[in-house]
Structure 1
């Protein structure tokens, strides 16, 4: 089928000896003596820019034309039969392809698209990657300067699929093509013969599959493909290019294939090998005399060699793993054992269907094939995944009491977390009770259905037995729908490091009697680590979820997803946080699909418990699927209990001491907590206790070795702690017992690690022109708080008694400096506005603020005190620092309810809603000109 191209087509003359065929990608070098190629490329770019917005060069077709040969006519006819007789004259007559002229071009070519440009264009050395599309015939060359252009006619293969002759040619071509591929592979293995084309086993396999998949409608493209592979001369390739008729082209390529196959068979001697085992081998060296040959003896355990072209059928004889040896010794049946494993795994219907298909494929493969090991590993993975195996939960009448005891033994405090986990166990227990009752009713209904089936009836459609059967069947369906589904919640334990999030999840597994598996997500940056690798990749494996299920061997374990806030986000490796959405969504994870397994798996029975230090890095869609439980830092009282009950006994045992060989009292533990650790968790506390135990272990060993065991004192004192651990790492935060005007204790230093502490705010004034200087590494939010506080104080200076008239500017002849000590520590947060305002009022009025009073809260320009966060942590830090009274915003009353009793008893907490109310509590005996306005405001509030 021919079609004339209406517009001029760009022509690209190919280098001498090069022929491009349709369906083939070729690299065309552009040397410095070929100026026509840069000119042609420039024209291609200009046409591409006019056709498309992005200017893609592969949208502009070019016609690749080979250089003509004097031995081949314009229509592909061979002019000289014996080309070898021409000798050097023929080579001299070949046209020069460095700068071809109009008469040098062949009459046929191939329409192609430029798929890429490689090389160094700056040095003038580059190559074009072109891909052949369809044959063209050059009708008339319209341009020759700079580059060639011509009118061409496109010729597409017109194939009659019902043509019997074409069918015979095509089948013969496929047979010869596969035979050539196999011969090339064997010649590569034997390294014999003169053939230069050698194939690796993998490439040969791919070529064989490619050839086998070709249909008769692709006969022309298969002929072109094999013409590019087969050994042939330049003239013969020009002949193939000029053959527009498919049957003639097939006949020509078949001729070339038969010639090369015959040459290979003549140059490579193939010895016939029988299908029986080689019966003899040579004696060992120690049994053979020098220069003497002995008869061969039978071999054991060797697979029979197979004749070329005959596929190996497992289990059909031989000495391989599927057959028997010459002594009829049964070898292990690997596929049979694999089938038994799959049957024992009780696969889901979808998995069973896939496994059956893969087993059939495995039986047809040779064990030496690379795909054999891949398929076998996949089937072993399917057999090891727990599709139906579950652990029976310890859900009896004493479940809740036993769980509470387990959690109390392992953890002190954390009442909110223990309450939530107890609720989950209670719900699970009730669901199980309901299912037990429903199962009993289902069993009774099934018995009724069996009895109805056994009753004889002449007319089954109208008999009483049929009615009973229908009623029993309907009742059975209703009862099955009443079964409670066990959809485990997705819990997220959020808290600072060292508060016991990981060990808490382990305690839950122990209380439930389930298997526990921990998956560390910190640093996971590849989506395939969650969802698995596709089996098409080398060394593919399942994701972390399916690997964990294989390890525990049950479908309802407790999975700890540790450090989920440190999971990687979107990159060129994918988005692992997005892959976790399906895992942690209760509405989706019952059909979770791992890329390696490729079969839906029910994750709804797994109890997922995730841990995180911060919520800031967790994406909102992922956080929405999690039930958050916050674990705050421990108070000093809680740390003392944890150290006494857990840490001290553990470190005494770990360091080789007995319980009576070292004794910690409450003063010693309090000294370590207050002077050597300042954290929300207990990790550093455990390290310091371990250091003390090691020091006592050295003293005990020295006393025992020196025979002075009576001099060893197991009791520790505060002086011993200072001697062992060195100087105190942390001092009391309130160093001054008295205060001065302009100094206020705030509660704004709240770190992401969960520690709250006090922060001094110092304000000083000096002669100036109203400027404000801020130091102490303050953040933008804190600077804004200072500006708001100063504006409110200046606006109410007359009411506060700081100005003699409402129009007086108290900052007219002075400048102030606001400083927060510990300048190396960054400070920020919207929680110091009230403290800043009180500090300014204290400075301007000369009234000191009590040193044991601290405050936190933001203010507005109207003087309203607004709520802040981190109340528990800040108040724990205030109590640790020796603060007695704390001013809090009135909106934070709800946060005080959850405070530990130790904090409530140790602090006087005062709630204020306005600056005037805070001023009254700071200086209750002072009188201000605006006191009447405050009284009216207080009565309004």
Structure 2
């Protein structure tokens, strides 16, 4: 059997968007597994392989029916493995061949082929056709910029008519279907005539384009020119079947712009960017930057808003359904709704919910959104220290993106969401800028109608947004930022409130989450109170929720393992499920103590009790302070010491006590740093008790700062401190006279069980605190 006649079996390499003619030498990049195996088989045999084009470019694994039946037998001349796993192959087209049968389709295609011989007709006629084809090709090169003039020189030297048709067809930017038709035409005369028709058609299109351009250059104004060029591009794409590339991308974006409701200034901005994008080559890196910018502007809500549900009864029901207590924040939301109902437009309020962790600040914001039937967006500001996180990056930077405010609005999809800025007190600042200063514009109702984001470059209106911020404490928030927000304090819960929350919210939710019905788990009130008192010590209910989940998990295990059909949790079984109690209920001393006073402190996690102990030792008047005290507490101790020295005789203390004794003041739990302006009277009382030998009443807790004249100054966080005193089992709280007005903020259930003694001078403190 000869080299180029008869039939033979040969591996097949399907090509995507590419076609190889006989006598062509070119490089191919092969990445598909089947194709690589077909190449390896060809190298084992005689370096021959059939190159046939698949009908659809998008198909990753084509079937036999999806590959053209006529292709080109080629010789593999060289193979090179690239770093990305693909193989670069140098092939030389040899002869047309037809697939007669697919012998194997598993690992790679093996086909039975028959070689196709070219049909030669009258040589004179072929010579005339060759000259006509060359003349048309020369005119095409002059009109088109897609083929280099050097190509004509190389083509003119070809004497074989069939090969001439193949080489010219390989240089033309025509559809694969047309190229395949030329490959399948074995009659040389018909092939040249087919090529002549294609060249003639292409030349006419180019001639038409040239004439139109000349006429447009003279007559059309700028707007008509832009319109005509777009129409011309569409017509050319339609003629050549090209729907890909930059033009298609711009057309899609224009369609989105027409359907969007962006303001006129933004529409003008997008149109300018589209003009720039249209002129850029598809390979330009800046094109993708402009595309991302346009996508951002189109995705932002400019006018779309949700309709507020202004039914106050509905809002009240939703808030009560989700949260127990929290009267002040709920009342503020209902007031906002009432005003909205009376006026058409109101600037969104900026609320700051301040309170210890676990009291429901974030979930309350989510409930407000549900009550108003608005979209809800939450961003966490904890640890944010780059101003660009708020205002965005300028578009000149690589990887520029909008700030979190604009990203949140894009996520919301409406101009009036409930926008939660979580942990606003955890903002940081460094050499990259101060994000808290950037928030001044966001949270100012008189400025945020023209909020400026560096990436968007156009002003954005935030007046319809209801901003809610959360914080654990206010002292870390810069004063100008705090001034723009309406502060609502959410203090810790009393034991009674925790019991109601556990009974009505936490336990039913955890039972549902763990697949436990009332027939499988029950927990009586005494057991619930034991968990609250002896297994948690917190202002919120987060740890309480964890302990309830722990009980549910252990109950589920007992039921599934078959040990019990129903778990009944009582105070006795709580220890079996949760282990030994972690906290002693009530921290009040069991007996009156000398030189030991229970102070009341406020921390970021709520109120707490703080014992201050004083020891008198023989020495020379040295004052020692231990327990990781901050500068403010050290100064309070010095002030208390100086006051007692100045009043020693009136207090029945030896006036020379400081010359004969060293005094050691210690605040237990030395590993925990402590500071704040409310421990003055506590230290003074402990000093007087230690120096006089008079014990301090065990049921008394106190808070207040002291001056050198013995005046008691006001403090903050009275509600949290009172709750901690109640939790610790104290029954009397001594507080500054100026804080008397804050007593009404303390829950009524706590006020009924405790006695509050406002004092203006240290003498009154000693009168109430020391046992007589």
Same fold (TM over 0.5): yes
Aligned twin of 1:726: 579
Alignment map for 1:108-257 (pairs within 5 Å): none
Counterpart Cα distance in 1 of 2:297 and 2:624: 69
Does 2:561 correspond to 1:702?
yes
What's the offset of the Cα at 1:314?
5.5
**Selected match of 2:484 from 608, 618, 625:** 625
Q: How does 1:341-360 map to 2 (within 5 A)?
A: 341-360=256-275
Conserved? CA contact 2:598–2:702, under 8 Å: yes
- 1:423 and 2:329 correspond: no
In the alignment, which of 438, 449, 461 is matched to residue 579 of structure 1? Answer: 438
Q: Which has the higher contact order (CA 8 A, sep 6+)?
A: 2
CA drift of 1:769 comes to 3.0
Determine whether 1:648 maps to 2:563. Answer: no
Counterpart selection for 2:372 from 512, 531, 545: 512
The match for 2:734 is 887
Deviation at 1:876, TM superposition (A): 1.1
The answer to whether the aligner puts 1:414 opposite 2:274 as a matched pair is no
Partners of 1:495 and 1:842 lie apart in 2 by 35
> In 1, distance between residues paired with 2:732 and 2:330?
32
Conserved in 1, the CA contact under 8 Å of 2:726 and 2:754? yes
Q: Which residue in 2 is equivalent to 1:215? A: none
Secondary structure at 2:567's aligned position in 1? coil
Partner in structure 1 of residue 640 of structure 2: 789
Which residue does the alignment assign to 2:50? none
In structure 1, what is the Cα distance between the partners aligned to 2:387 and 2:482? 18
Aligned to 2:619: 768
How far apart, CA to CA, are the structure 1 residues paired with 2:752 and 2:486? 32
Residues 365 and 649 of structure 1: CA distance in aligned 2, closer, same or farther (over 3 Å): same
Match of 1:822 among 654, 665, 669: 669
Q: C-alpha distance in 1, partners of 2:619/2:242?
A: 110
Which residue, 635, 642, 646 being the options, matches 2:494?
Answer: 635
Q: Structure 1 residue 699: deviation in Å?
A: 0.7
Shift of 1:275: 7.0
> Partner of 1:659: helix, strand, or coil?
coil
C-alpha distance in 1 between matches for 2:370 and 2:269: 36
Q: Does structure 2 retain, via aligned residues, the 8 Å contact 1:865–1:914?
A: yes
In structure 2, which of residues 304, 308, 317 is the aligned counterpart of residue 389 of structure 1? 304
Whether 1:717 and 2:570 are equivalent positions in the alignment is yes
8 Å Cα contact 1:315-1:323 kept in structure 2:
no
Conserved 8 A contact 2:619-2:662: yes
Does structure 2 retain, via aligned residues, the 8 Å contact 1:277–1:319? no
1:864 is displaced (CA, Å) by 1.4
Unaligned runs of 5+ in 1: 1-263, 433-484, 927-941
CA distance in 1, matches of 2:174, 2:233: 9
In 1, Cα distance between the equivalents of 2:383 and 2:616?
A: 50
Cα distance change on mapping 1:892 and 1:352 into 2, 3 Å? same
Matched position secondary structure for 1:533: coil
Distance 1:890 1:381 in 2: 57
> Deviation at 1:908?
0.9
Determine the structure 2 residue equivalent to 1:899: 746
Offset at residue 334 of structure 1 (A): 4.9
Q: For residues 868 and 339 of structure 1, what CA distance do their matches in structure 2 show?
A: 62
CA contact (8 A) 1:313 1:363 kept: no
Do the aligned residues in 2 keep the contact of 1:664 with 1:715 (CA within 8 Å)? yes
Deviation at 1:921, TM superposition (A): 2.2
SS of equivalent residue, structure 2 residue 613: strand
Cα pair 2:588 2:699 within 8 Å, conserved: no
SS in 1 for 2:421: strand
Structure 1 position 793, deviation (Å) = 2.5
Separation in 1 of the partners of 2:364 and 2:727? 27
Distance 1:838 1:313 in 2: 90
Say whether 1:531 aligns with 2:384: no
Q: In the alignment, which residue of structure 1 is the partner of 2:41?
A: none
Deviation of 1:362 (Å): 4.2
**Secondary structure of the structure 1 residue equivalent to 2:594:** coil
Deviation of 1:347 after TM superposition, in Å, equals 1.7
**2:478 and 2:380 mapped to 1: Cα distance?**
18
1:813 to 656, 660, 664: 660
Partner of 2:568: helix, strand, or coil? Answer: coil
- In structure 2, distance between residues paired with 1:527 and 1:332: 37
The answer for unaligned runs of 5 or more in structure 2 is 1-147, 156-167, 214-227
Q: CA deviation at 1:903?
A: 1.6
Residue in 2 that maps onto 1:753: 605
Question: Which residue of 1 is the match for residue 597 of structure 2?
Answer: 744
| 1:864–1:526 distance in 2 versus 1, CA, 3 Å | closer
Q: Which of 698, 705, 727 is the aligned partner of 1:851?
A: 698
CA distance in 2 between partners of 1:916 and 1:765 (Å): 22
Q: Whole-Å Cα distance in 2 between the matches of residues 346 and 800 of structure 1?
A: 79
| TM-align CA RMSD | 3.7
Query: For 2:232, which of 283, 294, 316 is the aligned residue?
Result: 316
Aligned to 2:115: none
Deviations 1:99-122 (A, max 9, x none): xxxxxxxxxxxxxxxxxxxxxxxx
Compute the TM-score of the two structures, normalised by the length of structure 1.
0.57
Equivalent-residue separation in structure 2 for 1:639 and 1:431 (angstroms): 39
Q: Are 1:688 and 2:688 counterparts? A: no
> Which of 607, 610, 635 lines up with 2:466 in the alignment?
607
State the alpha-carbon separation in 1 of the partners of residues 363 and 263 from structure 2.
Answer: 34
Q: 1:677–1:729: 8 Å Cα contact kept in structure 2?
A: yes
State how far apart, in whole Å, the 1-side matches of 2:333 and 2:242 are. Answer: 64
- Matches of 1:609 and 1:416, distance apart in 2: 15
Question: How far did residue 377 of structure 1 move?
Answer: 3.6
State the Cα distance separating 1:554 from its structure 2 match: 1.4
SS in 2 for 1:323: helix
| Alpha-carbon spacing, 1:587–1:409, altered in 2? closer, same or farther (3 Å) | same
- After the TM superposition, which residues 304-383 of structure 1 pair with which residues of structure 2 at under 5 Å, given as runs? 316=232, 322-325=237-240, 334-383=249-298
Distance across 1 between alignment mates of 2:750 and 2:348: 36
Q: Structure 1 residues 840 and 570, CA, compared in 2 at 3 Å: closer, same or farther?
A: closer
Contact in 2 for aligned 1:834/1:856 (Cα 8 Å): yes
Please state whether the residue corresponding to 1:316 is helix, strand or coil: helix
Alpha-carbon displacement from aligned partner over 1:186-208 (angstroms, at most 9, x marks no partner): xxxxxxxxxxxxxxxxxxxxxxx
Paired residues, what number?
Answer: 583
Residues 428 and 809 (structure 1 numbering): CA distance in 2 closer, same or farther, change over 3 Å?
same
Aligned residue for 2:403? 543
Q: 1:682 to 1:324 in 2, by over 3 A?
A: farther
| C-alpha contact 1:520 1:561 (8 A) present in aligned 2 | yes
